[in-house]
């Protein structure tokens, strides 16, 4: 036997009907997905259910694995004493996990009296499971302040114990996502919150478990997540197995992200489905170095792509790379970065005049803004990254003009201004065939009506950088 399935499950107490008292209907998709995984677990008829919970005893320098005969849990702290359950522990399984972890230099610690009381991160998933199936023993594992690689090793030890003891085992990774999704939510809104949830759900939907090891610690903290460690343990437990993957639901109406996902094990892959963050970073560095050595990739475009991919994947601006060419590192200018997908515009943000210390910083800032903050489009998701193309326009200083006869749509961009309102349109754009059309579009972007007079005009030239081509004046 061994691990037969793993499920991602959130743990909002109000999803238990006697706690929610009707509020659970606001997350009906989560409730339906929960009932689905409970049915799947019952169909698997596991000997053991391992629940990895961020609300089990938590220590900075070691992992808790519950010991003893069993535990009781209820929703009394949430006003629902009638919602309760008692489960038996699998002591030999817990001991095998602990022995394996110690053998891999991963610290394990006990927690005495706290072993007999189930936390709500464990209780909520088991509440739904027990409605369908109760003939199992429980192993409860907490998280720690140790590195992500140690969480992966804990997952591997869970899988090893399941195989060695010949236990048919299901793992439940209990955890909510960001707690900062809405201004009126209990924890408020942080920009990193929605980005974190989009990234994690995209990874779960794609079955890309290795991506769970790439998140920056400061980004995780800003997003106020509680479940990533559980997901990393799950990823370690699935290492070496072939599995199907399915994101069953995602919701966040209360300002906290709830994702439910299913991973059904199909067989052994041999090489493992999860790689370490160190190996992943080495691969990424190699790919970047190979790209750097390729004369066909423009350094402006490379920098824009790297900026977007870092932000979309891990929510962090990249550091300014070393050894940039002087026209990136030393020059200052306004920069526009445009993203396209399947030939259509996917985002475009820029600065008319420089606001940072270099063109390189301008590219980084505006590439991220084009991917995440163009009001015309939703933010770019992880699964779109491979299909994006980039262009970077470096602007020459604008010069005032008196009339349309001084414009050329192929050569000059235009800036239209009136008072505090300003609109800009780049040169040489598909579908813009006349200077009148160019100025009208720039007016609309500025919030100036097409027939409104008294506007000031300026023109500018750009050097356009695109993938696979030399930089050129537009």
Tokens of 62: 């070691």
Residue 165 has which token pair?
């003891």
| pLDDT at residue 291, as a whole number | 44
Helix axes 192-206 and 299-314, enclosed angle (nearest 10):
90
CA distance 466 to 336: 12
Other residues' Cβ atoms within 10 Å of the Cβ of residue 46? 24
Q: Give the DSSP H/E element, type plus range, for residue 102.
A: helix 91-103
Which uninterrupted H or E stretch holds 365? helix 359-372
Which tens digit of pLDDT belongs to each residue from 149-172?
999 999 999 999 999 999 999 999
- Taking alpha carbons only, the member of 337, 339, 359, 360 closest to residue 350 is 337
Q: Between residues 1 and 25, which one has the greater pLDDT?
A: 25
Q: How far apart are CA 347 and CA 412, in angstroms?
A: 21
Q: How confident is the model at residue 112 (pLDDT cuts 50, 70, 90)?
A: low
Residue 112 makes CB contacts below 8 A (sequence gap 6+) with: none
Closest CA to 251 of 185, 316, 170: 185
Give the predicted TM-score (pTM) of the model.
0.61
The distance of Cα 42 from the centroid of its chain, to the nearest Å, equals 31
User: Partners of 45 in the beta sheet?
Assistant: none
CA distance 174 to 6: 11
Residues in the chain: 474
- Give residues with Cβ within 8 angstroms of 447, minimum separation 6: 421, 423
Non-local (6+) Cβ contacts of 407 within 8 A are 401, 414, 435, 438, 439, 457, 459
Place of tokens 């399915």: 246
- The pLDDT of 302-307, averaged and rounded, is 93
- Give tens-digit pLDDT for 167-214: 999 999 999 999 999 988 888 999 899 999 999 999 999 999 999 998
pLDDT per residue over 406-441, tens digit each? 999 888 999 999 988 888 988 888 888 899 999 999
Buried b (16+ CB within 10 A) or exposed e, 234-270: bbbbbbbbebebebbbbbbebbbbbbbbbbbbeeeee
Of the candidates 188, 186, 260, 268, the one whose C-alpha atom is nearest the C-alpha of residue 223 is 188
Render pLDDT for 56-106 as a digit per residue (tens, 0 to 9): 988 889 999 998 899 999 999 898 999 999 999 999 999 999 999 999 999
The position carrying tokens 């067989």 is: 267
Q: What is the pLDDT of residue 58?
A: 87
Q: Please compute the mean of the pLDDT values over residues 102-117 and round it to a whole number.
A: 79
Q: Report which DSSP code applies to 284.
A: H
Using left for φ > 0, alpha for ψ between -120 and 50, and beta otherwise, residue 334 falls in beta
Strand pairing category for 456-460 and 413-418: antiparallel
Rounded Cα gap, residues 312 and 316, in angstroms? 8
3-state SS, residue 397: coil
- Summarised one tens digit per residue, pLDDT across range 22-66 is 988 899 999 999 999 999 999 999 999 999 999 998 888 999 999
Q: What is the DSSP letter of 105?
A: T
DSSP string over 256-268: S-EEEEEEEEEEE
Pick from 108, 155, 146: which is nearest to 272 by CA? 155
pLDDT of 332 strictly over 70: yes
Question: Where in 89-181 does DSSP place strands (E)?
Answer: 108-109, 137-142, 168-174
């Amino acid at each position: 036997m061994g691990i037969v399935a793993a499920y991602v499950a959130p743990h909002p107490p109000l999803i238990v009907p006697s706690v929610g008292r009707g509020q659970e209907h606001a997350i009906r998709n989560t409730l339906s997905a929960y009932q689905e995984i409970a049915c799947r677990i019952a169909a698997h008829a596991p000997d053991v259910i391992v629940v990895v919970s961020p609300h089990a005893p938590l220590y900075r320098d070691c992992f808790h694995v519950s010991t003893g005969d069993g535990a009781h849990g209820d929703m009394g702290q949430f006003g629902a004493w009638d919602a309760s359950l008692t489960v038996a522990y699998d002591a030999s399984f817990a001991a095998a996990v602990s022995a394996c972890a110690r053998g891999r230099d991963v610290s394990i610690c006990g927690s005495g009296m706290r072993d007999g009381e189930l936390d709500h991160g464990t209780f909520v998933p088991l509440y739904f499971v027990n409605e369908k199936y109760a003939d199992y023993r429980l192993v409860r594992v907490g998280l720690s302040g140790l590195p992500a690689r140690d969480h992966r090793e804990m997952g591997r030890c869970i899988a090893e114990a399941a195989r060695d003891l010949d236990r048919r085992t299901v793992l439940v990774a209990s955890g909510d996502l960001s707690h900062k999704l809405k201004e009126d939510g209990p924890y408020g809104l942080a920009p990193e919150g929605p980005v974190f949830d989009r990234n994690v759900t995209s990874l779960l939907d794609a079955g890309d478990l290795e991506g769970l090891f790439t998140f920056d610690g400061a980004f995780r903290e800003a997003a106020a997540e509680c479940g990533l460690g559980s997901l990393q343990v799950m990823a370690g437990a699935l290492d070496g197995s072939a599995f199907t993957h399915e994101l069953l639901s995602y919701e966040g109406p209360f300002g906290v992200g709830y994702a439910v996902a299913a991973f059904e094990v199909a067989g052994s892959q041999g090489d493992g489905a999860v790689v370490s963050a160190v190996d992943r970073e080495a691969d990424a560095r190699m790919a970047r170095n190979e790209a750097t050595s390729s004369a066909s990739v423009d350094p402006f475009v490379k920098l824009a792509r790297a900026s977007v991919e870092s932000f979309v994947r891990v929510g962090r601006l990249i550091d300014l790379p070393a050894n940039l060419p002087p026209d990136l590192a030393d020059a200052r200018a306004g920069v526009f970065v445009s993203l396209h997908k399947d030939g259509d515009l996917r985002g475009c943000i820029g600065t008319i005049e420089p606001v940072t210390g270099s063109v390189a910083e301008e590219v980084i800032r505006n590439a991220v803004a084009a991917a995440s903050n163009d009001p015309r489009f939703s933010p770019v998701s992880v699964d779109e990254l491979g299909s994006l193309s980039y262009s970077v326009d470096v602007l020459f200083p604008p010069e005032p003009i008196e009339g349309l006869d001084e414009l050329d749509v192929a050569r000059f961009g235009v800036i239209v201004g009136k008072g505090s309102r300003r609109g800009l349109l780049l040169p040489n754009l598909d579908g813009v065939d006349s200077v009148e059309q160019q100025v009208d579009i720039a007016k609309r972007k500025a919030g100036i009506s097409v027939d409104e007079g008294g506007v000031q005009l300026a023109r500018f030239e750009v050097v356009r950088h695109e993938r696979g081509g030399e930089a050129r004046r537009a």
